[in-house]
Amino acid sequence: MDARPITLDVNDIHALQNKRKSVLHLPFELSPRTQYSSGELLWVREAAFISGTHFADQAHATHADGRVIGYQASMNSDSMGLAQDYGVKRTPAMKMPRFASRFTLAIEAVSIISLDQITEREARLTGVWFDGLHYRGGRHPVRGTLNRHANALDAFRDEWSSMHINTDYSMHRNPRILRLAFTPIYQNIDEYLAEIEADVSPAL
């Protein structure tokens, strides 16, 4: 079984970690339906600090191949500063290598909807961040912080607008969206595939 990468930002990673995300929405024209199918696996790319050193002593490593990996979504400013002090450069999400990925998405259903079909429930399935008082989405034009909203749908719309402002995917154009419903697997893609292969292999 083959798998392809998909890049998620820090907020999406937090939603996965907290089991709040089970749907992805992608602009249809940029992501034709034929590119995705039910049963397909996607491995998640995210920003991380990946050491170039392979430690023989696994006690000094955080990954099976002997490297130390610090995932930005799980690090505070002190730990990111420490990584930089040791000369470990930040690897952008788009360049994350497959071995370092820690999340796999199993696609359950693929459909095409329009932007105005997204409901409050659907918006919550995207993993919109709730801080205990407000749903957060979109950016303040001066401070750059996430805006506060009374419901998830408004937060989703604000976030979508901030990503697709003045494009064919702007809110007022009501664009077509590719909807991917998935089950998150909290495991590296190759480790997961190895387990599947072991389960189906005949006993010797």
Q: How many angstroms separate the CA atoms of 171 and 21, rounded?
A: 22
Global pTM reads: 0.85
Helices then strands, counting H and E runs in the chain, come out as 5, 11
Distance CA 108, CA 41 (A): 10
Cβ 123 vs Cβ 155: under 8 Å: yes
Name 184's bridge partners: 105
Domains of the chain: 3-45+96-198 (2.30.130.30), 48-91 (no CATH)
The token pair at 79 is 């730990």
The pLDDT tens digits of the residues spanning 153-184 come to 999 999 988 888 777 778 778 888 899 999 99
The answer to whether 180 touches 24, Cβ cutoff 8 Å, is: yes
Averaged over 133-143, what is the pLDDT?
Answer: 85
Find out whether 71 and 48 touch, Cβ atoms under 8 Å: yes
Contacts of 191-199 spanning 24+ positions with Cβ under 8 A: 191/64, 192/41, 192/104, 193/1, 193/3, 193/41, 196/1
In which band, very low, low, confident or very high, does the pLDDT at 58 lie, cut at 50, 70 and 90? very low
